[in-house]
Amino acid sequence: MSARLNPSILSADFVNFERDFGTIANCDLIHVDVMDNNFVPNLTFGLPMVARMQQITPKPLDVHLMIANVDRWAVGYAETGAFSVTFHAEASENPVKLARALRAAGARAGVAIKPGTDVETFLDELAEFDQLLVMTVEPGFGGQGLIEETLSKVTKARRRIDAEKLDVWLQVDGGVDETNIERIAQMGADTFVAGSAVFKAEDRAKQIENLRDLANLGLSHRH
Ligand code: DX5
Ligand code: ZN
């Protein structure tokens, strides 16, 4: 298992995405935060922007939908060619049904849970998803501190993924930086979103390498 490092473009320059994508070219996937000022109290962009992003980078897009009524909208993102589409369980009437529709549309299907949402309900359904996103901050804004209590969900999910030998990526998003990424990897996360930690760095490419190296170190020391 090796770590994936996905910079969140929530911290990028919104009128210079093409230029900023160039500064993170050594990343694994590009994490694209879609917010609707409804499911979360912040607003970013929607389907036409994501479709356009797809055209300006060869990198796979890791779309994170923080939108209400997601059963209506998520498949459209898969149809733009997004490599991965992750929606919030709290915003879906039927997460398993939606995941099946995303896979049928050719995307990897991810399910995300907010800090207050229990992971247990999803452990029995993990095989239906390609990624579980454990939010380590309240979704909505970059630059927040990681909520420690969320990490027990990473440990629980990793235990189940390993026990059932599932091919499910375990992603964390929010407050991930060089001070905690190794420890989170040691708990079993394999896919790391980092917004401010990457975009604030003077040399973003070097910071991506640094974060991924630390994560791989943590993965190699898993107990
Ligand atoms: C928060 C978003 C994150 C955010 C992470 O709701 O889902 O992807 O950009 O930013 P940092 O890494 O700065 O916490
Ligand atoms: Zn995100």
pTM of the model: 0.98
- Residue 138 CA to ligand 1 center (angstroms) comes to 9
Q: What kind of architecture, by CATH, is found in domain 4-220?
A: Alpha-Beta Barrel (3.20)
Give CA–CA dist 70/101, Å, rounded: 12
> Per-residue pLDDT tens for 115-147?
999 999 999 999 999 999 999 999 999 999 999
Mutational test site, ligand 1, from 144, 146, 179, 211, max ligand atoms within 8 Å of CB: 144
> Per-residue pLDDT tens for 89-109?
999 999 999 999 999 999 999
- Residue 135 CA to ligand 1 center (angstroms) comes to 9
Whose C-alpha lies nearest to ligand 1, atom 7? 139
The mean predicted confidence, pLDDT, of the chain is: 98
For residue 200, which ligand has an atom nearest its CA?
Answer: 1
- Residue 43 CA to ligand 2 center (angstroms) comes to 13
Q: What is the pLDDT of residue 1?
A: 86
Q: What is the pLDDT of residue 157?
A: 98
Specify the ligand 1 atom closest to the Cα of 146. Answer: 14
Whose C-alpha lies nearest to ligand 1, atom 10? 142
Please state the rounded mean pLDDT for residues 30-38: 98
- Residue 135 CA to ligand 2 center (angstroms) comes to 8
Which position has the token pair 């733009």? 80
Closest by CA to 191, choosing from 166, 159, 215, 167, is 215
Give CA–CA dist 211/149, Å, rounded: 22
| pLDDT value at 223 more than 80 | no
Beta bridge partners of 65: 34, 87
Question: In angstroms, how far is CA 152 from the centroid of its own chain?
Answer: 18
Q: Identify residues whose C-beta is under 5 A from ligand 2, the ion.
A: 33, 64, 173
% of the chain residues with pLDDT over 70: 100
Which position has the token pair 């995405």? 17
DSSP structural state of residue 36: B
Ligand 1 lining (C-beta closer than 6 Å) = 8, 10-11, 31, 33, 64, 137, 139-140, 142-144, 173-176, 193-197
The token pair at 136 is 């380590």
